[in-house]
Amino acid sequence: MNSISTVAKYLTDTADSLATEILDEILDKFEFTIPAEEIKQAIVVYKEFIGILGEALTSTDIKMPEGLIEWSKRNGEREAALMGRISSIIRRYPDTRLVFSERINKIILSFGLSAEDVIFVNKRLNLMLDVSITETIIAFERLTDNIIKNRQGQINELSAPIVPIQEGVAVLPLIGAVDFERAEHLINKVVPKIPQLRVECLIIDFSGIVTIDAEVAGHIFHIYDVLRLLGINVIITGIRPELATKVVHGGIDFSSFTTYSNVMQAIESIKLN
């Protein structure tokens, strides 16, 4: 009976041809198209994968192929960049695992290895494939989270513009749903810009708000206090009854606020003063 080291040497020596044959079998099973560049890279990765598998069979320390890890990461990042779905990548793995397992098992059985050795080889093989899946998913989620975060930042910028309407006067229209993240954006990003624009009076208009809770409203009304400390007069407009009720129930005192039904009324009051 041959030893497991014989199989390990065979895998290392024939990694080139095995990589091509295994890839061809995998592609035959796929019912979807794989980009040519990815196929080209897959041959390189599979070659390294098989070579490292051969080394792993005779070592107690399992070293994952750097090429496999990087390739897996690129797969995840590419799909995320295209706003694709992680399922479009993961669906390849069952066929990939099946072809690899069948081919590797044929090899080790042809060398007459024991059942114990067959189990050992399959454990190493499946571990390496699982690492590949894990790295792909982590890379996909990481880049997807970054894309969403960046786009949310852009949305926040567009949904809270400071609009000058005359010298020293500007309107800050609040539009859409306001959550804690948007409230933080207003406080940390929008408010610091207001003094730079030489605004003496800011009209904060709530008429475009779809949803807001009392806690978030409290954060936004905190802007009122900050701007007053900076010497900027603040006028609140567009407060609907339901929002006013939430704010009052949230313990916010309206008595010190200058409020009007709409922006037009606020502008007229400024002209009169």
Q: pLDDT per residue over 226-265, tens digit each?
A: 888 888 899 989 888 877 777 777 677 667 788 899 999 9
User: What per-residue confidence (pLDDT) applies to 154?
Assistant: 67
- Asked if pLDDT for residue 2 goes beyond 70, the answer is no
**Is pTM, for the whole model, over 0.85?**
no
Write the pLDDT tens digit of every residue in 107-165: 998 999 888 989 988 998 998 889 889 998 999 999 988 888 877 776 666 556 788 88
CATH (residue range 160-272): 3.30.750.24
Per domain, the residue ranges of the chain are 4-153, 160-272
250 versus 189: the higher-pLDDT residue is 189
Examine domains 4-153 and 160-272 and report if their fold is the same: no
Write the pLDDT tens digit of every residue in 43-53: 888 888 898 88
Q: Provide the 3-class DSSP secondary structure of residue 227.
A: helix
Name the nearest CA neighbour of 209 among 242, 185, 181: 242
Tokens representing 183 are: 């409230």
Domain at 4-153, CATH from 2.60.40, 2.40.360, 1.10.490, 3.30.200: 1.10.490
Give me the sign of the Cα torsion angle 40, 42, 43, 47: positive
Other Cβ atoms closer than 10 A to 75: 26
* C-beta separation of 127 from 62 below 8 A: yes
Tokens representing 47 are: 């070659």
Other Cβ atoms closer than 10 A to 202: 23
Taking CA atoms, 242 is separated from 129, 131, 207, in Å, by: 55, 52, 12
What is the average pLDDT across 190-210?
Answer: 86
CA–CA distance, 130 with 252 (Å, rounded to integer): 54
| Buried residues in 12-30 as b, exposed as e (16+ CB within 10 A) | beebeebbeebbebbeeee
